Amino acid sequence: MKKTRTEKAILVLEDGTKFEGISFGASGEKTGEIIFNTSMSGYQEILTDPSYKGQIITMTYPLIGNYGINKNDNESRKIFAEGFVVKEYSKIFSNWRGQKSLDSFLKEFNIIGIEGIDTRALTKHIRTAGAMRSIISTKTFDINKLLKKVKESPGLIGRDLVKEVTCKEIYEFKNGAKLEIENRLRIVVIDCGVKYNILRKLKELNCNVIVVPYNTDYDKIIQLKPDGILLSNGPGDPEPVIPVINTVKRIINSKKPIPIFGICLGHQILAIASGGKTYKLKFGHHGGNHPVKDLRTGKINITVQNHGFCVDIDSLNKSEIEITHINLNDNTLEGIKYKNLPMFSVQFHPEAAPGPQDANYLFNEFIDIVKKYKN
């Protein structure tokens, strides 16, 4: 029987809060940590960002889906978010690049959506109570049964979600190029859930880009003869991502240092490998409008962010590591660099372009460091 636009859906949170709405996308049941994203657009990129593995996304902007979906704006091979929550889903999409509806896109990857709920009230509740486990269902509306399933579902702390999003084998990211070009910088990207635009940015800077699974060991990476290494973004808690942490420790302690650039989860991994600690934020940073101050220049960048964990500033060895960036909303850590090693990282996403492209300069900084150490 064909699903109608009036099929009910329900969202139940771990604390018993419930929101009833209308289903779109796939039918069924799915658990995940409920979070909110403050971006006004970019829902396709958000849904396909592997960093959202394990999470149900609430969009704070009220109208979603009005420009459809196209084949070029995916940030990975599929949707990794567990579910999608909006105030109003647009039944009609209109854009010269649009090829399919958001509804059909969700169905393609069996992702449940719910619309018609008060996303403002939900967002305010998350800000007050914190991100928590939740469930979306179109199958049953028995609150007690759903709440039991939520409480039996895993949270994010202590889970290695990276193994569920990383690539399965080593590959070269060509982006239209037929062959690797000699004498270009060779960048190895450790894939913890890398977004395609990170790879595109490296190609735009004339790099040969080799992507490796997150559990590729140090010796194998060295055999690839990298001029530089990028630690990618990814989902969840960084502390269980032991394979990458151990690899980065060996790079830090090697006789010939290889330049490292860490982004988001990659930033957290570099900090942990350097002796730092991380902690879970109350409701995370998810959106395209976070102000970050570059302490080296005093410049304020408007950044895209997507992370639920953060590096503890006080856990870092200040004799070895310099604090480079701070979040102006809550004064959390946004960037570090080694004082005597060619390694740095940022918590935000310099490859994203929510309107401004304020943080693009970081890719050029990385390439400049790589060239310096290559020569």
Domain ranges (residues) in the chain:
8-152, 162-374
User: Are domains 8-152 and 162-374 of this chain identical in fold?
Assistant: no
pTM: 0.94
* Residue 297: Cβ within 10 Å count: 10
In contact, 29 and 12? CB cutoff 8 Å = no
**Which residues neighbour 55 within 8 Å (Cβ) at sequence distance 6 or greater?**
32, 33, 34, 35, 81, 82, 156, 235, 308
Q: What is the DSSP letter of 173?
A: E
Architecture of domain 8-152: 3-Layer(bba) Sandwich (3.50)
CATH topology (fold) of 162-374: Rossmann fold (3.40.50)
Computed over every residue of the chain, the mean pLDDT equals: 94
Q: Average pLDDT in the 12-38 region?
A: 97
The model's pLDDT over 188-210, given as tens digits with 9 standing for 90+, comes to: 999 999 999 999 999 999 999 99
Task: Give the integer Cα–Cα distance in Å for 126 and 261.
Answer: 32
Which residues does the annotation mark as catalytic? 264, 349, 351
Question: Which of 275, 131, 268 has the alpha carbon at shortest distance from 193?
Answer: 268
The model's pLDDT over 250-283, given as tens digits with 9 standing for 90+, comes to: 999 998 889 999 999 999 999 999 999 999 999 9
Q: Average pLDDT in the 297-313 region?
A: 95
Q: How confident is the model at residue 179 (pLDDT cuts 50, 70, 90)?
A: low
The answer to whether residue 176 scores a pLDDT higher than 80 is no
**Which residues neighbour 296 within 8 Å (Cβ) at sequence distance 6 or greater?**
324
Q: What is the DSSP letter of 131?
A: S
